[in-house]
Amino acid sequence: MTEYELVRSRRKTLSVQVTRECRVIVRAPLRLAKREIDRFVSEHADWIARALAHQRTLAEAHPEPDEAQARALAERAVREIPPKVRHYAAIMGLRPTGIRITSARTRFGSCSGKNSLCFSWRLMEYPEEAVDYVVVHELAHIVHKNHGPDFWALVGQYMPDYKRRRALLRK
């Protein structure tokens, strides 16, 4: 039987999640019997095993930077990303309301509803072409708050090779 953390809440369904830290978390309704939860986990044992293997592979391929490396990457992001945002914002005729550097793990950038941009310092582990793509991508969200055809047309207008650059983030 797979070991797991159980989180009960006022939900109606069961779900299982494998985290980056290789923890298995099962979310369940408040009053669901433990045997039903165990049965659910057993039924999903193959998926859990594959997800754990995938997370271990990712961890080996992309080890977490140590504290000094993380600080150096964050300092570099603070130095390099704001000038890139100013450069592309001027070209695109856009004005973000703010720029922040974060330690987000699951996304390289975001654009708030109020047009403030956030970028993860982890982006600095990728080639400069990929960083430029993320900057243009987030700036385009000032105009289009979705990933519809008009959004991609705007990104492509200022970065015709954006698909190649985006692929760099997946390596």
Q: Are residue 54 and residue 72 in the same domain, yes or no?
A: no
Cβ atoms < 10 Å from Cβ of 45: 12
Q: Are residue 85 and residue 137 in the same domain, yes or no?
A: yes
Q: Are residue 55 and residue 78 in the same domain, yes or no?
A: no
State the angle between helix axes of 67-92 and 128-143 in degrees (0 to 180), rounded to the nearest 10. Answer: 50
β partners of residue 125: none
pTM over the 0.75 mark? no
Q: Are residue 42 and residue 116 in the same domain, yes or no?
A: no
The domain in which residue 44 lies consists of: 5-61
Q: Are residue 118 and residue 39 in the same domain, yes or no?
A: no
Q: State the Cα torsion 158-163-168-169 to the nearest 10°.
A: 90
How high is the pLDDT of residue 74? Answer: 96
Q: What are the contacts of 89-93 at 24+ separation with CB within 8 A?
A: 89/139, 91/158, 92/136, 92/139, 92/140, 92/154, 92/158
How high is the pLDDT of residue 58? Answer: 78
Q: What's the number of domains the chain is made of?
A: 2
- Chain-centre distance of CA 3, in angstroms? 27
How high is the pLDDT of residue 105? Answer: 84
Q: Are residue 16 and residue 81 in the same domain, yes or no?
A: no
Q: Are residue 139 and residue 85 in the same domain, yes or no?
A: yes
Per residue of the chain (171 residues), what is the pLDDT tens digit? Answer: 789 999 999 999 999 999 988 999 999 999 999 999 999 999 999 999 999 999 888 777 777 888 999 999 999 999 999 999 999 999 999 999 999 999 998 899 999 999 999 999 999 999 999 999 999 999 999 999 999 999 999 999 999 999 999 999 987
Q: Are residue 88 and residue 163 in the same domain, yes or no?
A: yes
Q: Are residue 130 and residue 96 in the same domain, yes or no?
A: yes
* Whether the Cβ atoms of residue 106 and residue 55 lie closer than 8 Å to each other: no
Q: Which of 61, 80, 100 delimits the end of a domain?
A: 61
